Amino acid sequence: MRNIFLTLAFTALVFSNISFYAASPVHLTFEDGAFVLQEEFKEIKVTELPSAVQEAVTVDFPKATILKAYMNEVNEYKLDLSMSGTIETVYADATGKWINK
């Protein structure tokens, strides 16, 4: 019985470490009485975006203009787009695939 418990505990420890290392870097802050998870995105120039991301915006949002671009440590991009008088925020990876956040 003891060996089964130790095996289960060791397996849980191994799998929890794998998922921990695969996670995106996030920071926990306290705002307005609640904890908020925030990813670290740093602003970059729109011209520094990969061509695949720029093409994805052109194809999927033909009337949009990229106002600001941000990048995080795992090469994901946050884009502020101006569309018909509103500002929308979208996320993409380096290959131009959209990410749900």
Residues 16-66 have pLDDT tens digits of 555 444 445 555 555 567 665 556 899 999 999 999 999 999 999 999 999
pLDDT of 101: 78
Domain boundaries of the chain, sorted by first residue:
2-99
Q: Where are the beta strands (DSSP E) in the chain?
A: 26-31, 34-39, 42-44, 65-71, 76-83, 86-93, 98-99
Give the predicted TM-score (pTM) of the model.
Answer: 0.62
Q: What is the pLDDT of residue 84?
A: 87
- Interatomic CA distance for residues 75 and 57, integer angstroms: 17
Q: Which two tokens stand for residue 13?
A: 């420890």
